[in-house]
Structure 1
């Protein structure tokens, strides 16, 4: 059974191994010892009891309880742009008109933005290629919503998710080649790696005035807001839950930024608590996302349930053990996917 849980110190090598598999353009987890060490340090600092911090990096792993192998990771940044600036481009329009010439043109622009400062970020979602089957991707991505629903005081009422932008089969970003390279004089991989460590250089080198997109190569214009093929399934999952693209893109690869209010996320606003009972027989039917309510020992998995009425649910013994709860305890649950009308 797959279970999502907080990362622990013993998972360092598993995290390092996943970092070797992410590939070009995956900014938040790169094949780099120092970045992995920083991620682990920040995550272990977040998983401590005490006052709610202004900034925290909640990193989760998905573990196969049968083999003990870590097959994926996901994370939530409680607030972006507080200690380091948060940049993206906003796609807008400017009107150029002349009454005398009877000319009226709307021109698309890119403007450097810090509009999402303070938002909580859904980030660092990666599932090992060999584990991309069944409902593993849905569990890994949506488990974060049950955590946010259980501990809303740790997050902003608004959230975002940056989607990896389009790159060709050789890992080349047309948007970077058409714009970023002219200001950074770096290869895409170099700039992407640097941005994960220090964003100050972005403010120092990026143009401060709006950029007219019609001056960019057609290849760069065409990929603005497009998602990398490997990230498209993750985008669809998030959009099905309520996140939306509103015209903000990544400054390096032009991947879309999805945003939503916590109250608008289906898995958050439709989740509820229920008392746990041991099912008399193996539950069947629709799958549910189920978590315990423990912060430090958070656990989340996917399983059918028996609805017992009066807010009670029947779970298999395997699920109860995986969630590390006892009969009579409390879980939070929601249907894994929105029901079709």
Structure 2
């Protein structure tokens, strides 16, 4: 069985392997031993904290196969970005150059350097290992975060964002960054990405152009990748768009990948979610009306999430019939309250 749980100290080796597998452009998980240990330490502190409002908490979870004990993926939530380190974006806007006398009217796109998302919550660090990319594992690893946030609203902002990896090749070559590198930075994309990942962001403010960039002055290749995602990121973007995430014109300052935004309360998963009392059953639902539901317990430090097969024809959802194996995985007993939603998409 696949379960989601908070990361623990024993997961260090697995997280380091995931960092290596994720490749260049996965800024939130750099291949750095000290930083990976720090991420685990910060996450453990976040799960133990009892904040009354969003702060610097950084929550990191793992997807574990309970039969083998293997960690197959990770995903995280930043409670409030930009409080300690500046959180930069480019915003894609427009300016008009017009002359009434000459009858000329030109609309030009510009990229403006900004910190507009400071203080919002961010879902991040989502990576599913190749061997696990089948069935509903990817949806489980992404969607459970929405239920966790809605279950503990005092810990998070109402506005939620996700930064999507932009266009780059296997060697880390980014068309957008190549233009910035040539004119302003004099360092390659992997180096800039790594420095950002380990928290050394001062160079951005020091070297980034201080005025808006006219898009039509960029190279054609750089223009073409603004707001576009890496080929491997397309499934993740599609999943978020199904939830209701939309790009409001904000893109990454390195690879120009889109940042998508949503109100947590308007997400499809939250709209279709319910609270129910647990009733443990020995029946195993395998009928045509069986639906895999994403179920979480109501804990923080002892958080658990998994998929539970539910025969929807037998449910009013006042009670949720849960097989003993799933109840054990969720660490719940008869009469406990769980929070759940469909995992496979819209109703």
TM tier, shorter chain?
Answer: over 0.9
Matches of 2:64 and 2:214 in 1, distance apart? 47
Give the match for residue 122 of structure 1. Answer: 123
Encode CA deviations 1:236-255: one digit per residue, 9 max, x unaligned.
Answer: 11111111111110000000
Q: State yes or no: 1:327 paired with 2:330.
A: no
**1:318 aligned residue:** 325
Cα displacement string for residues 53-112 of structure 1 (whole angstroms, at most 9, x for unaligned residues)? 621000000000010111000000000011111100000000001122211100110000
Aligned counterpart, 2:47: 47
Number of the residue aligned with 2:217: 215
**SS of equivalent to 1:116:** coil
Residue 274 of structure 1: CA displacement? 0.4
Whether 2:206 is the aligned partner of 1:199: answer no
CA distance in 1, matches of 2:169, 2:17: 25
Match of 2:298 in 1: 293
Q: Residues of 2 paired with 1:339 and 1:105: CA distance?
A: 42
Matched, 1:152 2:157: no
Cα drift, residue 303 of structure 1 = 2.1
CA RMSD of aligned residues (A): 1.4
- Superposed CA deviations along residues 112-133 of structure 1, whole A, max 9, x for unmatched, are 0111110100000001111111
TM-score (norm 2): 0.95
SS in 1 for 2:22: coil
Give yes or no for contact 2:248–2:261 (8 Å, CA) kept in 1.
yes
In 2, distance between residues paired with 1:200 and 1:105?
Answer: 36
**How far, CA to CA, are the matches of 2:317 and 2:306 in structure 1?**
22
User: Does residue 305 of structure 1 match 2:306?
Assistant: no
Uncovered stretches (5+) of structure 1, i.e. residues with no partner: none
Distance in 1 (CA, whole Å) between partners of 2:6 and 2:182 is: 38
Runs of 5+ consecutive residues of structure 2 not aligned to the other structure? none
Would you say the 8 A contact 2:172–2:189 is kept in 1? no
User: 1:237-252 counterparts in 2 under 5 A?
Assistant: 237-252=239-254
Equivalent pairs, count = 340
Counterpart contact for 1:181–1:187, Cα < 8 Å: no
The secondary structure found in structure 2 opposite 1:20 is: helix
Aligned residue for 1:4? 4
Q: Quote how far apart the aligned CAs of 1:169 are.
A: 4.1
Question: 2:295 touches 2:340 (CA, 8 Å); kept in 1?
Answer: yes
Q: Could you say what secondary structure the match of 1:333 adopts? A: strand
| Secondary structure of the structure 2 residue equivalent to 1:45 | helix
State the SS of the aligned residue for 1:148. helix
CA–CA distance in structure 1, aligned partners of residues 93 and 49 of structure 2:
43
Between 168-177 and 135-144, the greater mean CA deviation after superposition = 168-177
In the alignment, is the contact (CA less than 8 A) between 1:283 and 1:315 conserved in 2? no
Q: TM-score, normalised by structure 1?
A: 0.96
Once residues 157 and 309 of structure 1 are traced to their aligned partners in structure 2, the CA distance between those partners, rounded to angstroms, is 29
Q: Which moved more, 1:292-301 or 1:39-48?
A: 39-48
The residue correspondences of 1:74-223 to structure 2 (distance < 5 A) are: 74-196=75-197, 197-223=199-225
CA spacing shift, 1:51–1:98, aligned 2, 3 Å: closer
Residues 51, 155 of structure 2: 8 Å contact kept = no
Aligned equivalents of 2:245 and 2:125: distance in 1? 17
